[in-house]
Amino acid sequence: MRSKLVLMLAIIMGIITTVLFFNYMKQYDSETVSSQTKVEVVVATGEIKRNHLISKNMLELKPVPEQSVHENTVTEIEDAIGLVSTANIVKGETLLSNHLQNTKEESLFVSRKVRDGFRAVSVGLNFPQSVSNLIEPEDNVDVIATFKEGDKFISEIIVENTRVLAVGRRMLESTEGEPYVEYTSATLELRPEEAVKVVNSNEKGNIHIALRSRVEPKGAAEDDN
């Protein structure tokens, strides 16, 4: 009977010791983390799309442990304002210097925007053909060609859902307060066979651009797959 009592007390004491040990380690870890030197880093206040011009209201400072800071981390908001995002940045994500480039770099390297297997092709457009100059870089459009056959004009969609790389020489979406500049061409991202079709159609007749919605209908992504 005594041996059972001693065993029971030993088990209880073991449990108590284990609980006390884990509580101590948890408190120790918390104190260790809180005692670490912290630095402020720049994070996104909301989602920032690729090729978007960075403004002050998109950014905020957040304190983080110094040991966790990447060497390319942006630590001053002023260092990011006026630059262009090279990737999609989610809300709360820390900005890295390789996420950003200036507008001059963007304009010099249009080839960086063209995906592998595609080509950049520019087509001349007048005001109505360009949807009254309402098309923006990163929009998706259809290309409509119009030909004359006898006494009739025939129009058909020759390319669907292609990406706009630039309008005129502008490769960034316009921002609020930016002066309006009319453009007479759009540069499209096309597969080689589409590029040939568009160039040939442009030589034979007229090209119009049909702007597609950026709001993707529910289930569209599944349908494409």
Q: What is the DSSP letter of 168?
A: T
Beta carbons within 8 Å of 87's beta carbon, 6+ residues apart:
50, 99
User: What average pLDDT does the chain have?
Assistant: 83
Kindly state the tokens that stand for 218: 């529910």
Residue 171: closest CA among 108, 98, 79, 100:
108
Kindly state the tokens that stand for 183: 């453009």
Please say whether the beta carbons of 124 and 185 come within 8 A.
Answer: yes
The pLDDT of residue 225 is 45
Higher pLDDT, 177 or 222: 177
CA distance 138 to 167: 10
The pLDDT of residue 69 is 85
The pLDDT of residue 3 is 67
CA distance 172 to 193: 26
Q: What global pTM score does this model have? A: 0.54
